[in-house]
Structure 1
Amino acid sequence: MLAGHLTVCSKAAETGPCPLLPLLLHVWSLHGELLTSPAVPSLQSRLSSATQHGSNLDLHGKPPPILSLTQLEILLLLNSWYYAMYFVIEILLFIYKSLLLPYTSANLALDLVMLFLYLGVEILRIYFGSKGNLSQRKVPLTISLMLLGPSAVMAVYYMLLQTYVLRLEVTINAILLVFYVFELVLCTVGLIRFSSVRLSD
């Protein structure tokens, strides 16, 4: 459209001077058409988009308070490293007991299956605990808190109830139970703190 009007203006320039005021008025009208075109985002849509991106701000334009517990995150990290060491030690102890003790195949298979189930529960528990703590969300932290029960039961089983219990196993499982007690307290504190503010889950 603009090219056509420029052509008209150029033809008019051959016969006489192009009137400046009509040309400016026409350019202004084209500018208004471009602003109202659906291909160009309006200022209102940009403001609404900016509002969506700033939805994490409170009424005063400030970010929400940081309520994540550093102590819980450090404890979960230490727990993950300790459990990795614990798992390796338990596998080596099972090999040792199967070679030196009259371990039946059924009991050995049961203890090994439960150990691998224990590993899966611990991975999920630590993952959801860290995710809920860092994102300040109650749902993942609640899942981690619920998985703390099965983890504690497994630790008690390998400390007292498995087929053959060595003194080393009593020690390493007791350390795990100490981890669980502190994590229970800190997860509960985290849930109370996260409930004090309205955060979307």
Structure 2
Amino acid sequence: MLPLTAVCCFVAGRKPILSSTPLQILFHLNCWYFAAFFLAEVLMFVYKGSKGNLCERCLATSVSVLILLPCVALAVYYLYLQTFVLRMEFILSSILLCFYGLEFLLGLVSIFAFSRSKVY
């Protein structure tokens, strides 16, 4: 018996063609989600790069380091956890994780420097 989500088409003596309509809908929605995700990442990157560092405030820099954690999780997903990873995705995600690692280290150094300085 075929699953309810599968569409079965028999073509003149050939094997049945099985496809999942909900899966195809999710693929389509994922395109829109990725566009929104990309835009949100760009906006968060601009926020983290400008506000935390230029204001020289521990709280803003700490928030930027905390925002970095979900970004790292998504980069790790693209690097390892997908079903099929293209070589280009692997290279881009690896470079992104290197940047995130440097950003994390420099963010911690900046937090310590900002917390030690006396503001008058």
Q: Say whether the 8 Å CA contact 1:159–1:169 is kept in structure 2.
A: yes
Q: CA RMSD in A?
A: 2.6
For 1:142, which of 30, 54, 62 is the aligned residue? 62
Change (3 A) 1:144 1:195: same
TM-score by length of 2: 0.68
Q: What residue number does 1:172 align with?
A: 92
Partner of 1:128: 48
Could you say which structure has the larger radius of gyration?
1
Distance 1:190 1:176 in 2: 20
TM-score by length of 1: 0.43
Unaligned runs of 5+ in 1: 1-102
- Following superposition, the deviation at residue 163 of structure 1 comes to 4.6
Identity %: 34
* Structure 2 residue runs without a partner (length 5+): 1-22
Question: Aligned AA for 1:162?
Answer: Q
Aligned-partner residue type, residue 117 of structure 1: F
State how many pairs are aligned. 99
Deviation at 1:160, TM superposition (A): 2.3
Instruction: Report Cα offsets for 1:101-128 as digits up to 9, x if no partner.
Output: xx83314523651553254144224413
* Aligned equivalent of 2:116: 196
Q: Is contact 1:118-1:151 (8 Å) kept?
A: no
Match of 1:76? none
Matches within 5 A, 1:52-131: 104-110=24-30, 112-114=32-34, 116-131=36-51
* Residue number among 152, 156, 175 corresponding to 2:76 in the alignment: 156
Q: Which structure has the highest strand share of the two?
A: 2
